[in-house]
Amino acid sequence: MANTSGAIMGTVLITGGTDGLGRAAAILLGQHGYRVFATGRNREHREVLDKIAIERSLSLETLELDVCDDGSVNAAVSEIEKRAGPVDILVNSAGIAIASVMEEITLDDLRKQYETNIFGLLRTTQRVLPKMRKRHRGRIVNMSSISGRIAMPLMGAYSSSKHAVEAISDAMRQELYPFNIAVILIEPGYIETSMNRTAAELSSAYAKGAEHSPYRGVYQAFLSNWQKTRKKSKYVPEDCARVILQAIEETPPRARYLVTSSAKTAAFMRRIMSDRAFDRSMIKRLGLDAVRDAIEKEAGQ
C-alpha cells in the first residue's frame, strides 16, 4: 500500500543503487517514504546521490558496498542495521555485462560476470535473510532481464548469469514461502543506462578484436541490431523504478514483472514458439543468413 502519511514504511537496501536502474529506484522509493540505503562502489556516484537526497528531502542515504567482497557486504549491512534496524526489502540491482561470442570470452571475464551477477546477489541475500526469517517478513527483489529468458549472440555469458538468477529466485520463492518472504524477479528489456556504457568498456577488447575474428560477421550483425534497439527504445530508468515500487507494494506480488513493451513481446513469442521457430526469427532479425553466405563464399575462394 502506498505511503500517504509520510511515515517511514520500511528499510530498503539497494545494491548497485547509486547509478542506473538502482538509482532511479532509490529516488522513487525515498519519495514514497521508505528509508532507503543506496549502495555502490563509486564514491562520486554516492556523493551525487547524497546531494539529490538533501535537495529533495528524501529518506535516502548512501553507503559503500562491493557485492563481490564478503567484508564489504557485512560491513554495509551491519551499518544499516545500526542506523535503521534489519533490512525489510532487498533490491539486488548490481550487475555487469560483457559482450562476446562464447568461444572467445575469457574464463576470467566469465567469472567476473558471475561474481557480480550471481555470487554477489547471493552473498547479499544470505546476509539479510536470517533476520527476515526471524521476523517472518521481507521481500527480495532480484533484477533479472529479458535476457534471463532469451539468449542471443554475444550475450550468452550475460544471459547465462541471468538464467541463474531466474532459477535461484524460483527456488527461493518456494523455500521462503513458509517464512512469509516474497522473492520477485524484475525483467527489463533495453533501457538506456550507464550500465550499457560500462558494458561497452568491459567488452572493448572483444569489439576491437572482432575485425580479425572468425565471428566478424556475427559481431557486426549484433552491433547493427543493438544500434537499432537503442534508437527505438523510449524507456528511461524511472519506468523500471515504478515497476519495482509496484512489486514491493503489491500483496501478494507476482513472481515476475516485465518492463518495456519489447520485453513483453519477446517473452510472449518465446513462450508460443518452438526452439526452431524462435532461432529462425532471431537469425532473420540479425541477418545471420547473409553472414553465413559470406563465410561460405570466403571459404570457397
Domain ranges of the chain: 11-209+235-273
CA distance 113 to 203: 11
pLDDT band (50, 70, 90) for residue 301: low
Q: Are 33 and 6 in contact (CB under 8 A)?
A: yes
Check if 158 is active-site. Answer: yes
Q: Are 100 and 203 in contact (CB under 8 A)?
A: yes
pLDDT band (50, 70, 90) for residue 5: very low
Catalytic pick among 34, 158, 190, 219: 158
User: Does the pLDDT value for residue 240 go beyond 70?
Assistant: yes
Question: What pLDDT, in 10s, does the model give residues 55-90?
Answer: 999 999 999 999 999 999 999 999 999 999 999 999
Helices (H), ranges, the chain: 20-31, 43-55, 70-84, 107-114, 120-135, 156-175, 194-202, 204-209, 216-232, 237-249, 261-272, 275-286, 288-300
Left (φ > 0), alpha (ψ -120 to 50) or beta: where does 35 sit?
Answer: beta
Q: Selecting from 3.30.70.20, 3.40.50.2000, 3.40.190.10, 3.40.50.720, what CATH number does the domain 11-209+235-273 have?
A: 3.40.50.720
CA distance 3 to 57: 16
pTM of the model: 0.93
Place of cell 509520510: 6
Provide mean pLDDT across the span 91-99.
96
